[in-house]
Amino acid sequence: MRQRRRLVIAGSLSLVLIAVAVLVVGYVTGIEPADGSSSAADDEVTPTPRPAPNSLPAPASVDTFDRGARSIDDPMSIWVVVNKLRPVNPQEFEPADLVEVPVEYTNEPELRQEASAAVVAMFDAAFAEAGLELASNSAYRSYSAQENVYDGDDATTARPGFSEHQTGLAIDIGPLSGECSLDPCLADMPEGIWLRDNAWRFGFILRYPADKTPITGYSFEPWHFRYVGTELATEMHDTGVTTLEEFFGLPPAPEYG
């Protein structure tokens, strides 16, 4: 009789242990009890919302170009900005490193040494890459030379002391044939198209674009290129900024101050 009681008690304990084990396993694995009931702890658990991948903010772009690396006031700086509000200073400035530019020309050109070397490289590339022959129509002009050039039309020529040509960093370029030289039709010539698309590689920018007259103060001049160095020319090309005034945050210069 005692033997039977022991067996009954042992069996009951086994059933209790099995039930406890089932509950523990269900809690750990997340399996609900057979009767479908859930614990209060399960009811209180709320999943943490996560943003969808396409809702993540785009990384902020960082402008790493140093616009203050060179002076825009010093006439010996290749970044100097000269326009109708910013004359060459001093008025009689003449670059100390002018050299003859060994390229074809209509008027014998001089430029600052760095700009001269860049012109030679650009003319050579135009011929090697596209079979185009270029020529210089005008380069450095002194204050007194600009007095002779200025024709009174402020939209097409600069007054003496306000011309980029006086810096020794500007050059007017056209086809060796002379066709469309110093004429807006150059923009549609193979030479003009090549210069427009490739001058930046050699440190030059098209200084007076067709759509920027209210900024620069000058009519479209597809022949007038200004040397600023490959660093700045590349940055302007990559960012799509086409004038020095806009790039350096300067006021437009449509008229003389």
Query: Tokens for 138?
Result: 């005008």
* Helix spans in the chain (H): 2-29, 40-44, 113-130, 143-149, 190-198, 213-216, 230-239, 244-247
Phi, psi (degrees; rounded to nearest 5) at 116: -60, -45
Helix (H) or strand (E) run with residue 134 in it: strand 134-138
* Helix spans in 71-112 (H): none
> Closest Cα to residue 105, out of 144, 141, 139, 148?
139
Spatial separation of the C-alpha atoms in residues 94 and 219, rounded to whole Å: 26
Residues 6+ apart with CB under 8 A from 17: none
Is the Cβ–Cβ distance between 82 and 162 less than 8 Å?
yes
Answer whether 0.85 is exceeded by the pTM: no
What local confidence, expressed as pLDDT, does residue 40 receive?
A: 47
Residues 6+ apart with CB under 8 A from 173: 134, 135, 136, 137, 191, 195, 223, 225
Q: What is the pLDDT along the chain (257 residues), one digit of tens a residue?
A: 444 444 444 454 444 454 444 444 444 444 444 454 444 445 555 666 665 666 566 666 678 999 999 999 999 999 999 999 999 999 999 999 999 999 999 999 999 999 999 999 999 999 999 999 999 999 999 999 999 999 999 999 999 999 999 999 999 999 999 999 999 999 999 999 999 999 999 999 999 999 999 999 999 999 999 999 999 999 999 999 999 999 999 999 999 99
